[in-house]
Amino acid sequence: MLANQNSYLKTAYETLEEISADQQKRLEYDARQKALYHYNTMMIESHERGWAEGNAEGRAEGITKSIIMMRNVGASTDMIVDNIMEQYGMTKAEAISTVNKTLSQI
């Protein structure tokens, strides 16, 4: 048997036999495994949510900086809208709204 050849597997196999023999230990083991699974799931979801939020904030900051820079070099609103549509994959309505909102704040 492979467990006899590898001390790590042997220890794991012995632990599994011990847990399987005792109903209470099996329930405790299951509870620990569920708790670890839920903890890891929550950590992954938190990480993904944080990444998405950071990405959205960075994108918004990049758009704002692009609009301000283009305005500072004398680009017309139409040129800025066209650039934002192309660079950030926005529809014309989204780009117009974003550009107007940004320009009204500076």
Share of the chain above pLDDT 90, in %: 71
Mean pLDDT of 48-66: 94
pTM > 0.85: yes or no: no
Among 10-19, 56-65, 75-84, the range scoring the smallest mean pLDDT is: 10-19
Query: In angstroms, rounded to a whole number, what is the distance separating the alpha carbons of residues 32 and 80?
Result: 56
Query: In angstroms, rounded to a whole number, what is the distance separating the alpha carbons of residues 77 and 30?
Result: 62
Tokens of 86: 């192309």
Query: In angstroms, rounded to a whole number, what is the distance separating the alpha carbons of residues 80 and 105?
Result: 16
pLDDT band per the 50, 70, 90 thresholds, residue 2: low
Predicted pLDDT at 54? 94
Amino acid at 40: N
Q: Select the more confidently predicted residue: 105 or 25.
A: 105
